[in-house]
Amino acid sequence: MGDSNSNSPPGSPKENPDQDADKKPIAKDDSTLETIVRRIQDSISIGKKHKFWESQPVGQFKDIGDASLAEGPIEPPTLLSEVKQEPYNLPSQYEWTTCDIDLEETCTEVYNLLTNNYVEDDENMFRFNYSKEFLRWALRPPGYYRSWHIGVRAKGSKKLVAFITGVPARIRVRDEVVKMAEVNFLCVHKKLRSKRLAPVLIKEVTRRVHLENIWQAAYTAGVVLPTPITTCQYWHRSLNPKKLIDVGFSRLGARMTMSRTIKLYKLPDSPATPGFRKMELRDVPAVTRLLRDYLSQFIVAPDFDENDVEHWLLPAENVVDSFLVESQENHEITDFCSFYTLPSSILGNQNYSTLKAAYSFYNIATKTPLLQLMNDALIVAKQKDFDVFNALDVMQNQSFLKELKFGPGDGQLHYYLYNYRIRNGIAPSELGLVLL
């Protein structure tokens, strides 16, 4: 239900957005047969036979374009009594462990495993550095199962060497709300990559999800597996261009000086929208209504209730930031924006060790233009000392990226559903789901 490269981290932006501002963007329709065929050929030519995934209930490349296949579950649920009761076998020197993320010691072990072994960019310059506060937030939503936080230890040293997680979610696909697991943080210690532990971890999290009578899952990967429901692209907005250039995250554009670049990305000191303020606990019902109404337009989106909104969107220091616009006349909440904090370690740089990145989460504009709302989000992110603001081209994000000087990165993120078929795939703009 995931891949050891489970989220592509932000690669360097390909160019300065100002250089290509006058070129018309090429319409990128990822669902065209040509693109899909090319992607399959790329995938096969790398010599990657997806032996494991071909045995799983996921959309298969050979089925693309087959109109006779129904949308919905690929395999029906089995009887709970038929779900395998014992964990899958591991190589003899390893053992399963359930990671209690509430325990400081365990949380630190998980943090250290991920910080040293999780996703890196292609050039091995940056590696995700999820904080312990972030991990606790990501892994303990309403109704979470501790048994879905799965580790592997070396029997001798008791050292944590692999990890995978699931959290429960309700995800709507067209008109159907489906209970799913969101699977994430698949990580195997660098020294054990050849041991084929990842498929065993995936099978084990699947087994534990099935034990709770849940038969579907959602996950993302930076690599192409059978078969993405959509492929999104990362875009990056420089907030601290000098640091980003110094650490090699971005390059100085042709004919650009550092001082011109700094000027290009300069933002106002404070948000422009009247009534723009931080979200508070009392706003949860209003934000929930706004969000539910907004997400109803997308083909795949979470089905959030007030408990979910309180957990995922109420501001938490160094984890998630949420702002809204409250009308000064009638105190109605009309607009909302949010981003989460996911730093990356900078590998091998003398001057800097951490890149502070904000990731666009859920944004809703009903009265304020989305462009203005997101510019205010950039301003508050800059105030909070973020170096870069990242966004995927999901939902309506495409409408502000170029205008607000985001540049396309080289990172792509593929979205997948396990045991659920969406016949023709969807465009990123039809996706209303952001996975961490």
390-417 mean pLDDT: 96
In the predicted model, what is the mean pLDDT of the chain?
90
What pTM did the predictor assign?
Answer: 0.89
With b meaning 16 or more CB within 10 Å and e meaning fewer, what string describes 412-423?
bbbbbbbbbbbb
User: What confidence category does residue 49 fall into, taking pLDDT thresholds of 50, 70 and 90?
Assistant: low
Q: What architecture does CATH give domain 58-220? A: 3-Layer(aba) Sandwich (3.40)
Helix, strand, coil percentages, rounded to 5, for the chain? 30, 25, 45
Q: Domain locations in the chain?
A: 58-220, 231-430
Q: Kindly provide the residue ranges of all beta strands, DSSP E only, lying in 139-228, ordered along the sequence.
A: 149-154, 160-173, 176-188, 216-221
State the DSSP H helix or E strand holding residue 323, giving kind and residue range, or none if neither.
Answer: strand 320-326
In this prediction, residues 8-28 reach a mean pLDDT of 41
Alpha-carbon gap, residue 6 to 167, rounded angstroms:
15
**DSSP code, position 316:** B
- Whole-number Å distance between alpha carbons of 245 and 170: 41
What topology does CATH give the domain 231-430? Aminopeptidase (3.40.630)
Which residues are identified as catalytic?
Answer: 436
Evaluate if residue 23 carries a pLDDT over 60.
no
Judge whether 58-220 and 231-430 match in fold: yes
Q: How many CA atoms lie within 13 A of 97 on its CB side?
A: 19
Strands 216-221 and 176-188: parallel
CA distance 84 to 251: 52
Per-residue pLDDT tens over the stretch 172-181:
999 999 999 9
Q: Which of 286, 389, 383 is nearest to 336 (CA)?
A: 286
Region 77-100: mean pLDDT is: 96
pLDDT at 37 over 80: no
Q: What's the chain's length in residues?
A: 436
CA atoms lying within 13 Å on the CB side of residue 269: 0
The answer to whether the CB of 183 falls within 8 A of the CB of 166 is: yes
